[in-house]
Structure formats: structure tokens, C-alpha cells
Amino acid sequence: MTAKPSVFPSVGRLLVYGVLALATAFFLLPLYAMLVTSFKDAEEIRSTSLLALPGSLNWSAWGTAWSTACTGVDCNGLRPFFWNSVAMAVPAVLISTVWGALNGYVLSLWKFRGSDTLFGLLLFGVFMPFQVVLLPMSQVLGWLGLSSSITGLVLVHCLAGLAGTTLFFRNYYAAIPQELVNAARMDGAGFWQIFWRIVLPLSTPIVMVALIWQFTNIWNDFLFGVVFSGTESKPITVGLNNLANTSSSVKAYNVDMAAAIIAGLPTMVIYVLAGKFFVRGLTAGAVKG
């Protein structure tokens, strides 16, 4: 006789899906509340519940948050802060990723005496609290003439992210057979030829991991932004903080919510479009010992 299939696997699967659905709803609930609030006017916010859908899509709060909301004494919205973050994040992400790739390439495939010790010392940067480096970093920026500038913020973020990107690339490149590099060297390929023609084409997964990781950390950073920026170089996290803490006669929750979504939108878009590459890169060896 053929045994009847058990109903328990299907029940267990439904239970797992149910738990995952509840966890997803719980995780997305704050975003939902922010989104619906941003489309309401002040009267609708006062007269309806937090989770109620807006009667109509009112985009006025978004326009105010972008261009006319007050962030202290200035009332230019988040627009200048947003473009400051773009000018800071793009070069910092690219430089720290390329720099980390070169470090990982050297420390894994071109080992020298003391390279493992150097890598171990470099890992201290992954675990070191950033508050420790605020004072010495401010002195260095002053000596270089980069205080309160976007260029100074780029330098700070490159140095802060270098340990992490080096760790990613070093562990990923450690899985590349050393014989492949040795064969290329016997054929006459040099340091840069091996890197550009052999190693880098194999690095797409880990490059995506480093880019997404660095962009998220740099775009969402508040500590370095509030400490090292000047009046004309504040990133969007500082602008959002100033906007939310600027007092007025009536608290404009819809404007605050729209501003928060604007500040977080680039990272959300990055993860939606490239999240699968991030997971592939991690599973391809980014966190292997």
C-alpha cells in the first residue's frame, strides 16, 4: 500500500510563513506609519488615527521637507544637505572600495613577511569605537586644511571604512587559488595586470557587498557628519536632525515624516535594486575565515 502523504509538513510550512508574515508586518509598520502620515495635512493627522490611510495624496509636506522647511535659521529644506551627502558618499564609497580591494589583494595573494600581523592590526579598525578617533582626526584635518569641508568628510569616511573593506576583500581573495596567480606571473604578468585582468573580473560579488556596505554606512552616518562638517558641508543626517528639532508653533509631523523618508530613500533604493547581489557576495565568501 502507498502511504498517504502527511499533512504535518504543509501545516509546518504554513506556520513558518505565518510567522515570517507577522515579522515582516511588524518590521514594516513604522515605515507604513511614516508614509501615510507624510500624505496627510495637519487637520487630518489630528482627526484620524496614526495608521489610517490618508483621504487623498497630499504632496505638500514632501515639497516643504525638500525645499522650504527650516533647519535652524535656514529655511531651504533638505535639498542642500541631500546634495552634500551625494558629493560626500559617492567618492568616499568608490575610493574606500578600490583601496580595500588593493589591500585585500596584497594581503592574500602577495603575502610578505609580517602581512598576517599587519592584517591583524588593521582589524582593530573594525572594532574600534569611532568616538576614540574624533579628536586626533579633527587635528589631522586641521593640519591638512580640510576642516569643515566635504573633502575632509570624504577622507574621514575612507579611513573609517578601510578596515571593513580590506577584511571583505582579503577573505574573498583568500579563496582564489595561489596557483592561478603563480601561473600568471610565470607568463610575465605583473602586479597590476594580474589584478585588473584576473582578480578583479572574479570580484563582482564582493565588490557589490563593499559598495552597498560602504554606501549605507556613509549615507546614514551622523557622528562624523555632525563633528567634522561646517555650515556649507553638513550631510543629510545632520539636516534631518536640525529639521526635526527646529521648534515652531505647531509641530508638522507630516513634514518630519516626509523628510525622514527622503533621507532614507537612497539606501532603500540601493537595497531593493541590489540586495540580491549583497546576499550573493556574502555567501560567496565575504565572511569566510
Assess whether 215 and 273 both reside in one domain: yes
> Is the pLDDT confidence value at 224 over 90?
yes
Q: How many CA atoms lie within 13 A of 21 on its CB side?
A: 6
Assess whether 151 and 19 both reside in one domain: no
Q: How far apart are CA 177 and CA 202, in angstroms?
A: 12
Is residue 64, in this structure, part of any structural domain at all? no
Is residue 159, in this structure, part of any structural domain at all? yes
At 4, the pLDDT band (50, 70, 90 cuts) reads low
Assess whether 207 and 177 both reside in one domain: yes
Residues of the domain holding 129: 79-286
> CB of 101 within 8 A of CB of 173?
no
Is residue 153, in this structure, part of any structural domain at all? yes
Is residue 179, in this structure, part of any structural domain at all? yes
Q: What is the pTM of this model?
A: 0.85
Task: Kindly state the percentage of the chain with pLDDT values over 90.
Answer: 47
Q: How far apart are CA 239 and CA 85, in angstroms?
A: 10
- The pLDDT assigned to 289 comes to 42
Assess whether 18 and 118 both reside in one domain: no
pLDDT in tens, 34-68: 999 999 988 888 888 888 888 888 899 999 999 98
Q: How many domains is the chain partitioned into structurally? A: 2
- The pLDDT assigned to 174 comes to 87
User: Nearest-CA neighbor of 56 among 70, 66, 44?
Assistant: 44
Assess whether 12 and 123 both reside in one domain: no
Assess whether 13 and 101 both reside in one domain: no
Is residue 100, in this structure, part of any structural domain at all? yes
- The pLDDT assigned to 43 comes to 87
Assess whether 91 and 54 both reside in one domain: no
At 80, the pLDDT band (50, 70, 90 cuts) reads very high
pLDDT in tens, 153-172: 999 999 999 999 999 999 89
Q: Return the minimum-mean-pLDDT range out of 112-116, 133-137, 165-169.
A: 112-116
> CB of 81 within 8 A of CB of 238?
yes
- The pLDDT assigned to 88 comes to 95
C-alpha cell at 201: 573580473
